[in-house]
Structure 1
Amino acid sequence: MAETGGNARPGAPDWSEAEQSLGCPLPADFKELRRRFPEWGAFCDHLVLLKAQGGTESVPGNHDSLRKAVRGNPDSRRLFEPYGILGAGEARSGRGLVQWGYSFTEDEYYWLADTTVDPMTWPIVARVDPLEPFQRFDMTTSEFLHRVLTDAEFSPFGIAGTVEAPYYRTY
């Protein structure tokens, strides 16, 4: 994503906790995105990628919170239909949603994870509001992010029509 001013920096986040918690590796392109952009920031002051470690702003912390919410409240399960949360017991074993990002306007971005296949083949499942239905996109995380930032026709997720040029702002 050279368009945003991101560049490789030394060191890479440690994804072992996240991958151990999920029971599978995460998509390589997502891990590369997290390596290239500082942990605290957002694309176009809009889209945030979850981190490798640390609280609910991380993939494992967020996933643990979602699993607990779904296990503790059967009504919460309906919010993630028809997919369910990976490892929460309501979906087919080894398959379910894993959140990787969100927007400041309530968009939610997930992978439809399947622990039996290459994570680079996991589709993106997204919605513009927690009460709206999910939309599926058969593309990688980096392709989805690129479309959000540069394709004004990528409705309802694209923001290219509202920003002059893609950027990444560190907070």
Structure 2
Amino acid sequence: MSNAIPRLLEIFPAPTESRQKDWGDVERSLGDELPSDYKELIRLYGGSNWDDYLYVLEPGCPNENYDLIEWARNQTEDLEDLWEFEKKPAELEVEGARVIPWATTDNGECLYWLVRPRLRPDQWTVMVNEARGDRWEHFPVSCTQFLASSLSGELRSNILSSLFPRTPHEFRRLRAV
């Protein structure tokens, strides 16, 4: 998958202070390695809000409402319960396929990595699930490519708000509440 950090830096320059993580601890907690472009996104931008709509989750986020590890635990449980009553998206019917959340929106949509057997984290693609509904979309791009292409208007989701992205772009790092 393509690392679109250079495109994100063109769209919105990164804050001057970077955030360092012990990715080994994070990945042990999740039970999975994470994509390198996501790690770079967090180093540069941290847990963040884009255009007052999309929230990038961060492990150990200063705003505990957007902690990647907690979201991963909660979403795994919630989806297992949900799929007892609703059909899984076709992409998740493959044995061993699952999703890990990496972003959410102020409307409650959730953006996930699609994790498939035998694929390395840098090969994971993006799935979007509507809030309080069973519609899913699959995008064969990395998380940074999804974010950059969404912000530039090159990629459009039928699930995400039609008001996203905004012009001019807005960005803020998530802080403790």
TM-score band, normalised by shorter chain: 0.7 to 0.9
**Cα distance in structure 2, aligned partners of 1:127 and 1:100:** 12
1:61 aligns with 70
Q: Within 1, Cα distance between the matches of 2:50 and 2:154?
A: 15
Corresponding residue pairs, total: 163
Identity across the alignment (%): 18
Q: Name the residue aligned to 2:88.
A: 81
- Aligned mates of 2:65, 2:164 — CA distance in 1: 30
Which residue is 2:29 aligned to?
Answer: 21
- Aligned match for 2:104, one of 102, 105, 127: 102
Determine the structure 2 residue equivalent to 1:34: 42
The verdict on how the C-alpha distance between 1:164 and 1:59 changes in structure 2, with shifts beyond 3 A counting, is same
8 A contact 2:53–2:164 mirrored in 1: no
| 3-state SS in 2 of match to 1:111 | strand
Query: Structure 1: which 5+ residue stretches go unaligned?
Result: none
**CA separation of 1:91 and 1:23: change in aligned 2, threshold 3 A:** farther
Name the SS of the counterpart of 1:36 in structure 2.
Answer: helix
Could you tell me the TM-score, scaled by structure 2's length? 0.75
Indicate if the aligned counterparts of 1:18 and 1:52 stay in contact, CA closer than 8 A: yes
1:77-97 deviation per Cα after TM superposition (whole angstroms, max 9, x unaligned): 446713799xxxx9833x301
Q: Give the letter for the 1:22 counterpart.
A: L
| Structure 2: runs of 5 or more not aligned | 1-7
Aligned to 1:134: 136
Q: Deviations over 1:3-50 (max 9, x none)?
A: 1232463442223333113322111111111111143x3011111111
Q: Which amino acid aligns with 2:50?
A: F
Q: Does 1:51 align with 2:68?
A: no
1:80 and 1:60 map into 2 onto residues whose CA distance is 25
Contact 1:108 1:130 in 2 (8 A): no
Task: State the 1:70 CA deviation.
Answer: 4.6
Q: Are the counterparts in 1 of residues 54 and 103 from structure 2 also a CA contact under 8 Å? A: yes
Alignment root-mean-square deviation, CA: 3.0
SS in 2 for 1:13: coil
Is contact 2:114-2:125 (8 Å) kept? yes
Greater relative contact order structure (CA < 8 Å, 6+ sep): 2
Change in CA separation of 1:136 and 1:70 when aligned onto 2, cut-off 3 Å:
closer
